[in-house]
């Protein structure tokens, strides 16, 4: 396949079906909401309650397009439970 052929194969937004466009927009919104929630939690949470460095989590959350996997990974794996104050 030549480079020109690959360029011709690219689809434009208007070429996508209404359902596909809706799915892409919904996915982008969910990704954005998860990223904002993870960053807010990361900012407010003390460093001793984070597994790893806060800076690295922030970089991953901001820069990696993951369809929500990086923010969810932060919530599941990156946070430590606070010490119990029973």
What DSSP string describes 11-69? PPGGGS-HHHHHHHHHHHHHHHHHHHHHHHHHHHS-GGGBSS-HHHHHHHHHH---TTH
- Whole-prediction pTM: 0.75
Position 2 in a domain: no
Position 52 in a domain: yes
Position 4 in a domain: no
Which residues span the domain enclosing 32? 17-78
pLDDT at 67: 79
Q: Encode pLDDT of 4-63 as tens digits.
A: 555 557 889 999 999 999 999 999 999 999 999 999 999 999 999 999 999 999 999 999
pLDDT at 82: 73
Position 74 in a domain: yes
From the list 57, 48, 55, the residue with the least C-alpha distance to 77 is 57
Task: Give the dihedral sign, CA 46/62/29/19.
Answer: negative
pLDDT at 57: 95
Position 12 in a domain: no
From the list 68, 62, 67, the residue with the least C-alpha distance to 42 is 62
Position 86 in a domain: no
Position 1 in a domain: no
How many domains does the chain contain in total? 1
């Amino acid at each position: 396949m030549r480079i020109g052929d690959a360029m011709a194969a690219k689809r434009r937004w208007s070429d996508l079906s209404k359902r596909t466009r809706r799915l892409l927009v919904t996915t982008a919104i969910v990704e954005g909401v998860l990223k904002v929630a993870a960053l807010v939690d990361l900012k407010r949470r003390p460093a001793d309650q984070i597994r790893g460095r806060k800076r690295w989590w922030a970089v991953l959350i901001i820069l990696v397009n993951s369809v929500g996997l990086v923010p969810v990974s932060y919530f599941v794996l990156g946070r430590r439970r606070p010490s119990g104050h029973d």
